[in-house]
Structure 1
Amino acid sequence: MVGVDYKLTVDGQIADQSRPGQPLEFIFGTGMLLPKFEEAIEGREPGEKVSFTLSPKDGYGELIAEAVVDLPKNLFMVDGKLAEDILFVGSQVPMSDSQGNRMTGIVKEVGDEHVKMDFNHPMAGKTLNFDVEVVSVRDVTPEDLQGRCSCGSCGDGGCGDGCCEGHDHNHCDCH
């Protein structure tokens, strides 16, 4: 079990960071975080700091043009009314595809009949700059295994591919 304080800078702006006194804790080597993130801190001891940069291919991948789609506006009807509270540019909307896979799309444009949605991970195509300090390293306990998601089941880019990344890292539940 590794605890880290971190700051993620993207395009010159802080995109995410741990809260003071609340390090991100994760079970090393289980795919909860990006592989290159784990590689950069492997073997480091508490108190050690490291800064590193991940290219899009080592982060959340390149932008995929096919992941930006126009959906019929009637898909956003709730109880016979248009869900206007979620239909604005920048809104993150949880959805499911025809196979039941959960994903989050970002509203890019609202037209008269269609809504342009981007299903790329919000950090796709971005260069990720991390400043990390290892805070703790210890053996995993049975309690650590309770309440953790089995990452890889959500498919929206978190935990390396499904649950935690980019949101509240301390809860590891699917969004």
Structure 2
Amino acid sequence: METVANKYITVAYELYVTDDGERDMVEQATIERPFQFITGLGTTLESFEDQIKDLAVGENFEFTIPFAEAYGDYDDEHVLDLPKQIFEVDGHFDSERIYEGNLVPLMDSEGHRINGTVVEVKDDVVVMDMNHPLAGNDLTFIGEVVENRAATNAEIEGMVNMMSGEGGGCSCGSDGCGSDGCGDGGCGCGNNEEKEEGEACGCGGNCGCGGH
């Protein structure tokens, strides 16, 4: 049987984490607005992709990815005090985006895009949590395969461009949700379709609308 190198897959799912013995839903992609991804490009968790890629259209799934195979353990050393001036726009502190609880796109010293969550805004520093929002959590996905077919060259090229920052919107992959910032409730995912606040950012558990 021929193996398709890159598949275009869309899935509807609910993503749950367990907190104090209670299962909480943290992300949802509906059949009307499913999560789309292309296999083999590194835009989703490898463990998520492996569970989905060989399923047929209409097939249901339920699986749990342990935190070690997802976003790792929570690390207190990844909570940083960053100088307030790096969040200035035209000489003024960007209070519209830098507020407690918001997810903010940043760039590391090597030019890689990363996301951090604002913990606290102090007089001189902004306390940022650079852990992935789902770090330390086992991820349980329950859902259904909506589409599974060979990806076209145009779809692959479009996703690669988006991952490199040429497509606007956001990569919604292993490097997170790009410069548009899912914390604002908008995120171009796969086909640049806007997602509304609370809907899946198309990350295969990568986001909780805020990937890393």
TM-score class, shorter: 0.7 to 0.9
The question of 1:64 aligning with 2:80 is answered: no
What one-letter code is carried by the residue in structure 1 that aligns with 2:103?
Q
Q: Distance in 2 between matches of 1:153 and 1:142?
A: 17
User: Does 1:6 find its partner at 2:13?
Assistant: yes
CA contact (8 A) 2:16 2:27 kept: yes
Partner of 1:141: 152
List runs of 5+ in structure 2 lacking aligned partners.
1-7, 166-170, 194-210
Which one of 167, 186, 190 corresponds to residue 170 of structure 1? Answer: 190
Bigger mean CA deviation after superposition, 109-118 or 35-44: 35-44
What SS is found at the alignment partner of 1:147?
Answer: helix
| Contact residue 48 and residue 133 of structure 1 kept, 8 A | yes
State how far apart, in whole Å, the 1-side matches of 2:108 and 2:45 are: 25
Counterpart-to-counterpart distance in 2, 1:75 and 1:4: 38
SS at match of 1:149: helix
Contact kept in structure 2, 1:164 and 1:171, CA below 8 Å: no
Distance 1:45 1:90, change over 3 A: same
Question: 2: distance between equivalents of 1:172 and 1:33?
Answer: 16
> Counterparts of 1:18-167 in structure 2 under 5 Å?
18-149=29-160, 158-159=172-173, 161-163=174-176
Mind listing any 5+ residue stretches in structure 1 that lack a counterpart? none
TM-score calculated relative to the size of structure 1: 0.81
Counterpart pick for 2:26 among 9, 15, 18: 15
For residue 148 of structure 1, give the secondary structure of its aligned residue in structure 2.
helix
Tell me, in whole angstroms, the C-alpha distance in 2 between the residues paired with 1:163 and 1:72.
Answer: 23
The one-letter code matched in structure 1 to 2:33 is Q
Residues 111 and 131 from structure 1, CA distance in 2 versus in 1: closer, same or farther, beyond 3 angstroms? same
Provide closer, same or farther for how the CA distance between residues 164 and 49 of structure 1 changes in structure 2, counting only shifts above 3 A. Answer: farther
RMSD: 3.0
Report the Cα distance in structure 1 between the residues aligned to 2:75 and 2:139, rounded to whole angstroms. Answer: 18
Identity of aligned residues (%): 35
8 Å contact from structure 2 (residues 31, 146) kept in 1: no
Q: Judge conservation of contact 2:104–2:118 (CA < 8 Å) in 1.
A: yes
